[in-house]
Amino acid sequence: MTIIAAADGSALGNPGPNGWAWYIDDDNWAAGGSPHGTNNQGELQAVLELLRATAGTDEKLLIRCDSRYVIDSVTKWMPGWKRKGWRKSDGGPVLNRDLLEGIDEAMRGRDVEFSWVKGHAGDRMNEAADERANSAAKAYQQKQEPRRGPGFTRATDAGAAVAASAPLAAAAASGRSATTTAAPALAARDEPTDAPLWAETSSLFDDFDTPTAEPIELRITLTGDEHARLRDRADAQGISLEAALRRLI
């Protein structure tokens, strides 16, 4: 079996409020974005989020993109960039290195193929991804919560664990500390909300009412969609993922 998905990005102003989305069908899609970014960043983020969401499956993944930049970056240029220490042929640094490194890591050991499709030409899956990415960008422009989507509903426990490992890698690279694994996951939700970060998970901390001088290590498993929602909210508030998690507490 092959999972066929479209991935797309959008930026209002380029740079400006941006959005990303991947789409398999109406039961399997996700979207997000940030208050400020480029179209290329949205396109790359869509691919990265798709890879994370489907990390637990052994099926081949066919990613349909209307961005030559994304396809050529991943399939043609990235090996050379890596050999040169993430430098371009002119010696300048590769743009969006963090996203490309994430994609490179997420593709490791997987059967992934890219296919170019013409954008805004009536391709059903591409149009669905584009609409959701653009809607997310507009939500950030209006300082609203975007529709996140149901995520990959066939995701396995292994997929959720791999998706949740992303903040660990980021924390390690920055010298911060972060932990994740088994405990109640945040409830997935696809409708907009103005509730504060802690409102979704207040029940998680009912057992922590005993004062203690010792630090408590809390481990939480997040799905790829939940991790994306948390990261995007942290970006919207201008804080780190670690700070966003602390605010939950």
Residues 6+ apart with CB under 8 A from 171: 177, 178, 241, 242
Instruction: Choose the weakest-confidence range: 52-56, 117-121, 241-245.
Output: 241-245
Pair 37, 135 in one domain: yes
- Per-residue model confidence (pLDDT) at position 241: 72
Pair 82, 175 in one domain: no
Pair 126, 186 in one domain: no
Residues catalogued as catalytic: 8-9, 43, 66, 120, 130
Dump pLDDT digits (tens) for 14-53: 999 999 999 999 999 999 999 999 999 999 999 999 999 9
> For residue 115, what are the β-bridge partners?
64
- Per-residue model confidence (pLDDT) at position 199: 35
Pair 93, 214 in one domain: no
Pair 130, 210 in one domain: no
Kindly state whether residue 151 falls inside one of the protein's structural domains.
no
Q: What percentage of the chain exceeds 70 in pLDDT?
A: 65
**CATH label of the domain that carries residue 77:** 3.30.420.10
Residues 6+ apart with CB under 8 A from 60: 1, 2, 3, 111, 112, 113
Last residue of a domain, one of 114, 141, 168: 141
Distance CA 44, CA 66 (A): 12
Average pLDDT of 199-213? 41
Rounded to whole angstroms, what are the CA distances from 55 to 1, 44, 60, 88, 160?
Answer: 15, 16, 11, 29, 8
Pair 37, 86 in one domain: yes
First to last CA, the chain: 42
The domain containing residue 209 runs over which residues?
Answer: 157-248
Pair 135, 163 in one domain: no
Q: Is the peptide bond before 17 cis (omega within 30 degrees of 0)?
A: no
